[in-house]
Amino acid sequence: MSKNLRHIVLVGATSTLAIHCARLWLAQGAMRVTLIGRDEARCARVAEDLQARCLEATIAVKVLTSFDDPAVITACVEAVCAAAVPDTVLIAHGMLSDQAQCQQDVATCRDALIVNGLSPVLFAEAFAAVMDKVGRGQIGIIGSVAGDRGRQSNYVYGAAKGLVARYAEGMQHRFAGRGVTITLIKPGPTDTPMTAGLKAEGANLADPADVAADIVQALERGTRIVYTPRKWQIIMLVIRHIPACIFAKLRL
Amino acid sequence: MVALASWGRLECPAHRLEFLTDRDQVAARLQRVAESGIAYGMGRSYGDICLAPNGISWQTRGLDRFIAFDPVAGRLICEAGVLLRDIQRFAVPRGWMLPVTPGTQLVTVGGAIANDVHGKNHHVFGAFGNHVLGLRLARTDGSIIDCGPQMQPDWFAATIGGMGLTGIVVTATLQLRPVPGPWLVTETVPFVGLDTFFELADSSEAEWEYTVSWIDCLSGAATRGLFMRGNHRAGVAGKLPHGKRRAVPFVPPISLVNRLSLRPFNAAYYELKQRQRGLKIEHYEPFFYPLDNLLAWNRIYGPKGFYQYQSVMPRAAGRDAIAAMLQAIAVAGEGSFLAVLKTFGQRESVGMMSFPQAGVTLALDFPNKGSATQRLFARLDAIVQEAGGRIYPAKDARMSRAMFTAGYPRLQEFLNYRDPGLHSAFSQRLMDPP
């Protein structure tokens, strides 16, 4: 298979947004896609779906035993980059943690911070090191509107996503004017298995295909921060600017 | 519990949602959950066929994966929650297309199977089920049934058009048909009178793959309408539609389709289209799915929702029956904007309970005005029944048991294949012991 094919890496490849993004990319033509995930069977299913949609694509799967062990991450990134340095990396994994449980159980709180905050950063850092050497590449990290302001209903998840946001900001500064772009994606509540609980309560959720279209476009353009759906940019602008004395009275 | 509506928005009963995402786990999940319910894909059926008030709503949109595609034979294996839109957009650039799609592509494969949907080319390709090569059904006893035209054909015939009541469709194998590209040559022919419609339909069927008519049901005895026909066309290099989607942003306090608005609506639509008469080159999306870019268009009927009334009648009695129905609508002082008239071809439907049969079908929409609307429907029912016709379950929210039993002679046979752990408001209304 040609080395010149565009190489896209999806970290957290079984996430709904990652899958939808991959489908959009593969609709553009043949490319090399590497799926990184934890669950072998689910990864295989994603690979099967993507392969059926683009028979010419080269799809590889890497199943990791850990998403936060630095040694595992480093080895994985080295192995992936040995095949071909990625042109695009989308870091998409996450888990909507139960705030109440995080407050009751410090271990749950730690796990939520690791999977939503620490782990994405470690992957981004490892891939950025390789991209820095070749002087080109796109990294997309899925943050969240929840990272924009701490709220009583999900501040642990929000704090992890806030970490990702500040990290992305620093990376953008580091790579400013060079060939590597870092895009921070802030989706609003999206219709994915992660939000099944919200949906079961009747929440109005965004279509993942629409959100994915925004993500793909933002990565192609090298946009620094993208809110999707766009209305969340305005909503969060308002929420960020509510004075603390009023904010304290809101049950957001 | 979550309030869930069908496309008609007549009611919004509470359901407990269960999300299906892993195709290998569907049967086990169905077995584990004790309560009964019905599968729900896009909620595009109009009546109560996709609803099970206070029961389980098995959400199938998470089953949206392709499994394999054979680009030589044009065969696609996919999960049941895949949208027809996704298949079309995937297949058309590769020279294939779904042989049959309804007036919206925003429905799932499972829904298309459960309702054995039809399209504008019924006289050539039959219904959706005629192109399903096989499917996998998960039952609430935890069992799996693989069936197709040759494999367990009785289960296949029960499930095609089986209203989701034989089990939950998990995967399907679909035969696509080759197309030269996304372009169609289409023609709009204004007509006056039902006889002219039938002449146009008969003369078009041999030459045109797609035929459908809009009629102005307020135009009286000399029914005027627009006959639209289309064929695939190779070698066109046109500009792709930009696909700007808009949504009806909120539910207006009253139906925007009403006595005051309907006449100008219909007149304006007729005049506008009349001016565009003649041949043109069109992309398949606006021709097949004219309303898909207006999201939530069902909101225009206001908070009380609306009914669709779609019947099919044998050809011999069809002309007079349609004239009588239009007359009854006029007498009742009612009207319909989305009045669609189409002839069905001879191709036999696969399903025991499939709606399409040779003849002529008329689809009408009516804002819900309570008992006045029901009285009109009783009148229409009598006409349809006398003509030996039947009503489309996917659009129904109110037909009587007598009407259903008379229209679907294989009902008793079908009941043998029902999954006892699944029910819908429709099945309770028309199949279960009262």
State the distance between the two ends of chain B, measured CA to CA, in whole angstroms.
26
Q: Is B58 an interface residue toward A (CB < 8 Å)?
A: no
Which amino acid is residue B430, in one-letter code? L
Which chain A residue shows the shortest CA-CA distance from B60? Answer: A193
Size of interface A-B (CB pairs under 8 A): 40
Q: Are A200 and B2 inside 8 Å of each other by CB?
A: yes
Q: Are A55 and B19 inside 8 Å of each other by CB?
A: no
* pLDDT at position A15 over 60: yes
Token output for A247 = 């904010």
Q: Is B293 an interface residue toward A (CB < 8 Å)?
A: no
Distance (Å, rounded) from C-alpha B336 to C-alpha B267?
12
Within 8 A of A191 by CB-CB distance, chain B residues are 61
Q: Are A52 and B68 inside 8 Å of each other by CB?
A: yes
Token output for B30 = 């169905």
pLDDT tens for A72-121 read 999 999 999 998 999 999 999 998 888 999 999 999 999 999 999 999 99
Output the CA–CA distances (angstroms, integers) from residue B20 to B7, B26, B394, B403, in the order listed: 21, 7, 22, 34
* Residue in B3, B22, B66 nearest the CB of A49: B66
Q: Are B66 and A199 inside 8 Å of each other by CB?
A: no
Residue A142's pLDDT band, with cuts at 50, 70 and 90, is: very high
What length does chain B have?
434
pLDDT computed for residue B243 by the predictor = 67
Higher pLDDT: A203 or A24? It is A24
- CB proximity list for B118: less than 8 A, separation 6 or greater: B100, B102, B126, B127, B128, B344, B355, B356
Residue A172's pLDDT band, with cuts at 50, 70 and 90, is: very high
Within 8 A of B62 by CB-CB distance, chain A residues are 193
Q: Are A27 and B2 inside 8 Å of each other by CB?
A: no
Residue A3's pLDDT band, with cuts at 50, 70 and 90, is: low
Sign of CA dihedral B266, B269, B273, B274: positive
pLDDT computed for residue B81 by the predictor = 97
Closest CA to A89 of A33, A144, A145: A33
The low-confidence residues of chain B, meaning pLDDT below 50, are none
Maximum C-alpha span of chain A = 61
Higher pLDDT: A223 or B248? It is A223
Instruction: Please tell me the distance in Å from A141's CA to the nearest CA on chain B.
Output: 23
Which chain A residue shows the shortest CA-CA distance from B82? Answer: A49
Q: Is A17 an interface residue toward B (CB < 8 Å)?
A: no
Angle at B69 between CA B68 and CA B74, to 5 degrees: 145
pLDDT computed for residue B383 by the predictor = 97
Give the residue-averaged pLDDT of A129-156: 95
Whole-prediction pTM = 0.92
Q: Is A224 exposed, middle or buried (0-12, 13-18, 19+ CB in 10 A)?
A: middle
Q: Is A249 exposed, middle or buried (0-12, 13-18, 19+ CB in 10 A)?
A: exposed
Q: Which helix (H) or strand (E) holds B266?
A: helix B259-275
Output the CA–CA distances (angstroms, integers) from residue A201 to B4, B17, B57, in the order listed: 11, 9, 13
DSSP for A128-143, written as a single string:
HHHHHHHT-EEEEEE-
* pLDDT at position A1 over 60: no
B165 within 8 A of B173, measured Cβ to Cβ: no
* Residue in B17, B21, B65 nearest the CB of A200: B17
Q: Are B90 and A48 inside 8 Å of each other by CB?
A: no
